[in-house]
Amino acid sequence: MTARLAILASGRGSNLQAILDAITAGTLDAQVIGVFSDRPEAQALQRVPEALRWARTPKTCGGRDAFDAALGDAVAASAPDWIVCAGYMRILSPGFVQRFAGRLLNIHPSLLPRHKGLHTHQRALEAGDAEHGASVHFVTAELDGGPVIAQARVPVLPGDDADALAARVLAVEHPLLLQVLRLAAAGRLAERDGRVYIDAQPVFTPRPLESAPA
């Protein structure tokens, strides 16, 4: 059965576009059933037909809690199999996380548990890291702290600034997210008691990025 994906996005939406392109190309058996944003001006929203867009701000909803409740109701009403944070820049409330536990995924631009939170590329440079990358993980109440499903690594090169490093990471984010979504869409991915399972086998170390299918 074609998996129903709800996408949460705050900005550019290049990860969303990678999902849409893979669906069109027939390499991801899924359907984007809604794009949900905390920023009505987000470019991500423009990537889907108007009927699939939902955008509110905490201000227009009357506060943080009301916003998260409205977001949760809208997401639930779309009946998703999976909820994917793809550049969603707000912290989700524990209630929201609980409501969608086990089917809430996030892509984060670092090799978690390194560099949780913001400005990950600059922080990797300042830490003198030789490697940096991206992680896809299940969302739990702890910020960027849920179990990691897969990671893609890139080298940090001499002369890199945060923008150069961000671009190198973004190039691996898209295939990494698709790799995980293919597992999710095929019913092969699960989370139980804080552990990732693929094909009902526990995953002890994050899966590496697979090379592109021929």
Positions marked catalytic = 108
Span of 8-16, 21-29, 48-56, 125-133 interacting with ligand GAR by CB under 6 A: 8-16
Q: How far is the CB of 191 from ligand GAR (least distance, A)?
A: 19
Contacts of 114 (CB under 8 A, 6+ apart): 124, 127, 129
Determine the size of the site formed for ligand GAR (CB under 6 A).
15
Tell which positions 166-195 bind ligand GAR, by CB under 6 A.
170, 173
Tell which positions 55-114 bind ligand GAR, by CB under 6 A.
86-87, 107-109
38 sits near ligand GAR (criterion: CB under 6 A): no
Q: In what order do the strands lie in the sheet with 201-203?
A: 189-192, 195-198, 201-203
Cβ-based nearer residue to ligand GAR, 107 or 148: 107
Helices (DSSP H) in the chain: which residue ranges?
14-25, 58-61, 64-77, 94-99, 120-126, 162-185
Rounded CA-CA distance 18/61 in Å is 30
Q: How far is the CB of 25 from ligand GAR (least distance, A)?
A: 18
Q: How far is the CB of 214 from ligand GAR (least distance, A)?
A: 26
Residue 105 three-state SS: strand
Give contact residues for ligand GAR (rule: CB under 6 A): 9, 11-15, 44, 86-87, 107-109, 134, 170, 173
